[in-house]
Amino acid sequence: MDSPSSPNGKTRGVTDRKPVDSGQFTLVDAAALSPDETLARLGSSQGGLSLEEVAARQRRYGPNALGTHRVRAASVLFRQLRNPILILLLLAALVSGLTGGGTNAAIIGAIVALSVGLSFFNEFRAEVAMSALRSKIHLDAEVRRDGTTGQVPVIELVPGDIVALRVGALVPADIRLLDVDELECDEAVLTGESMPVAKSAGATTGREPLDQPGCAFMGTVVHEGSATGVVVGTGAHTAFGAIAAGLAEKQGQTSFEVGLSKFSRLLFSVAALLTVFIFAINLILARPVIDALLFSLAIAVGIAPEMMPAIVTVSLSAGSKALVAKKVLVKRLVAIEDLGNIEILFTDKTGTLTDGIIAFEQSLDAFGKPVERTLTLGLVCNEATLADGRPVSGNALDQALWLGITPSAQTGVAHDVAAEVATYQRLDTFPFDHERQMASVLVTDPSQQRLMVTKGAPEEVLKRCGGIADETHAVLERLFSEGARVVAVATRPGADLVHLDASSEQSLTLEGFLTFADRPKRDAGASIEKLERLGVEVKIITGDNGLVAKKVCADIGLECKGVLTGAEVEALSDDQLTTAIALTTVFARIGPEQKSRIIKVTRRSGRVVGFLGDGVNDAVALHHADVGISVDSGTDVAKDAADVVLLDKDLGVLADGVMEGRRIFSNTMKYVLMATSSNFGNMFSAAGASAFLTFLPMLPSQILLNNLLYNAGQLVIPTDLVDPEALARPAAWDMAFIRRFMSVFGPISSIFDFMTFGVMLWVIHAGHTGFRTGWFIESLATQTLVIYVIRTRRVPFYKSRPSRAMLLVPVVAALVGAILPYTGLAHLLGFKPLPWDFFLILFAMVVFYLALVELAKTLFYRSARITRLETVTTHGERLERRILRRSSNFIHRPAPAARRTRPVKRAG
């Protein structure tokens, strides 16, 4: 249907035709249509939309913005309070207050406030960052409406608007190109790749969503040329908008947070069962209801890990400061624990494993031998200009050629090439265009003979050359297989030429090839080796092609088990992708949504996943990883979405962070094992004692005081030294292991508690007050000092020494408990002095207890190691069978030769 005309004779946009919904008609759909077909589908025309139609579409589609997002502090705070461990701690504070323990209640309350406040601050800041991202668009665009071109705020664009793109402009929406004049767009913000992408107006099908030559994407930058296009998607219906929508998803718990939550539920369940059991026993024994209730709740408080948030907070804060010195900034403190436990690290290639700059590599003749002449001719046919000895214009490959002859280059050719290039005098040029994929110049050579030099994509240049030997094709095939970007150089005599055109570029003689690469960083191989020694498996996710990434793997010593493309990922179910990930090292031509899916599927398999990225296209994957890692030079969006920011884009720096994370996790687990062994044992003892004693074995206030001193002794755990083997491999929460540990070491603690009961009743013949005093001292000594055995799998002190603070503070806590009955506070606390022979017996019991725990520890870890080996073997056999069944369906095979030519289509 033709567009109606306006009264002034200008072409108007169609107003009586309903366009396809922008959310249904995608940029991929538009890329498959011709420009005219796209205009028809969008109900638009070359003259643009009418103002009436613009107004109607603005009401229908809304603003061209990434949504409005109100940050509600109350909702963020509420999410922090939905935590079982915090509920238990708040209950503990209430009980402390009811039993007169105002100080203890204040301490517990402060710990809860610190934990909640820290989480609230970090999450609230992330919400604010997301809100800023969604309101990012505030520029103007050159738009044609009602046949008239003018500047329009980007936020007012609608599908069907005709937009002009100029050099340096930010593409304001997802656009289907209509007319193109040598357009190149820098899409690094979406794809992460450094090379500008050539654009055309032709229709294409069967390509990746972000690999569309006929389209320009919101947020990318016009690097060269100009174009007009029609808006297809705005706001949330753009590739950039999809990233913002991904950031709006609720961030899942990290692996550490999941383990902490499971541990909290375990403690909560045990505390609830013990409280009910002890309360029921005391009621059966006809004890006062209020006393029975307070005693039962005090036991629950004893189990509650009040110091867990403090231990974690102190550990993470100290670790954060240590990481800053190692050039690692931590935004989300809890991510430090998971940083140490990363099992799989997905990283981008460009700028992380490579320099991120296209560099000239080799100058070869037609048979693959190094020669200087090909480089000289490549510089003669070059669109870059020099200023102060540096290239300041032209495409990236032309600039790389000039940079390649600087003294710092390692090309193997002489550095006086520039002087030789100056002996050629340019007479005419036929610039590069993306249809021909080549450029030509007419020059006079040093002998004053006319010569035409042509440079461009090898497949196009070779079509115009005669007498190409099979050996030349083999050289080109080898270069492609190595992942090199290749430019062919050819010549022909120019005596009959005055002005160049397409007909001039015939009957050429191939001079040779120029190769380019994004070189691997010098220390990339060492960094990869360091991570592998730490048990971290490194995988590459890139927007580049698989051959280039595979070559980088070979250069840095990273074994490439397989390559999977974005199209192949799209065809796999989640179960198939889980298996494919285990067989794949390189994920090539991957878009933002596919990155995020790979991360989420890997996490679902139970692995702790880190992702390193620095572009807008990486933001959603950073959001979904256990540990999102960006770099200081990355985009603001990526840094906002990340948990950790590296001040150096270096995997070696990341390896230091992994070590620090493992140290913190190891020390946190020491407290966990303490809380599930001696502490549990003492509470079980209290439950048992209440069943046969005619009085409460310990007053509620004494239980809280015991718990306070015990926890004070553990506050220095974050400063403790860690054995090397604890840093060697990733670790993770293992609730089955924790339950087994509790079931072994808890009863051992209870045995010595009951021995103390016997001593107090039948040896010391103590009364109610003396009994409570003796058990208070013994229980505090055993559960505090056992940390020296539990903190290491080695022989304590002899093969594993604690830090100085760890050596002193727990001992002091135990001594304070022993001295209290001899102070003026004894009567207030319900204590009385005990005979000195009690302490002799106590000393013998503590030594015997620690020796028994050490023996049990040795046997326990030996048994656990055998069980784990059997489990790993069984799991490995199952995984191997599953991989063998499925691998033939999707493992990527080497690409055919036709596909390998793609990297050079932008050559100029």
Q: Which of 161, 348, 398, 643 is catalytic?
A: 348
Q: How many CB atoms lie within 10 A of CB 277?
A: 15
3-state secondary structure (DSSP) of residue 89: helix
Joined tokens for residue 681: 């044992």
Q: 16 vs 2, 42, 147, 162, 814, CA distance in Å?
A: 11, 12, 17, 18, 86
H or E stretch at 357? strand 354-365
**Strand bridging mode 509-520 / 354-365:** antiparallel
Joined tokens for residue 622: 């950073």
Cβ–Cβ < 8 Å for 195, 544: no
Give how far the C-alpha of residue 530 lies from the chain's centroid of Cα atoms, to the nearest Å: 19
Strand-pair partners of 443: 426, 451
d(CA 535, CA 478): 34
3-state secondary structure (DSSP) of residue 514: strand
H or E stretch at 78? helix 73-81
Q: How many CB atoms lie within 10 A of CB 635?
A: 20
d(CA 462, CA 488): 8
Determine the residue type at 207: R
H or E stretch at 141? strand 140-145
Which of 841, 847, 836, 786 has the alpha carbon at shortest distance from 811? 786
Strand-pair partners of 176: 215, 230
List, in order, residues 6 or more apart from 60 with CB less than 8 Å away: none
Q: 803 vs 383, 419, 667, 806, CA distance in Å?
A: 65, 66, 12, 5
3-state secondary structure (DSSP) of residue 833: coil
Q: How many CB atoms lie within 10 A of CB 904?
A: 26
d(CA 333, CA 352): 24
Give how far the C-alpha of residue 387 lies from the chain's centroid of Cα atoms, to the nearest Å: 40
Which of 236, 230, 108 has the alpha carbon at shortest distance from 176? 230
Whether 348 is catalytic = yes
List, in order, residues 6 or more apart from 226 with CB less than 8 Å away: 164, 165, 166, 167, 181, 182, 183
Residues with catalytic function: 348
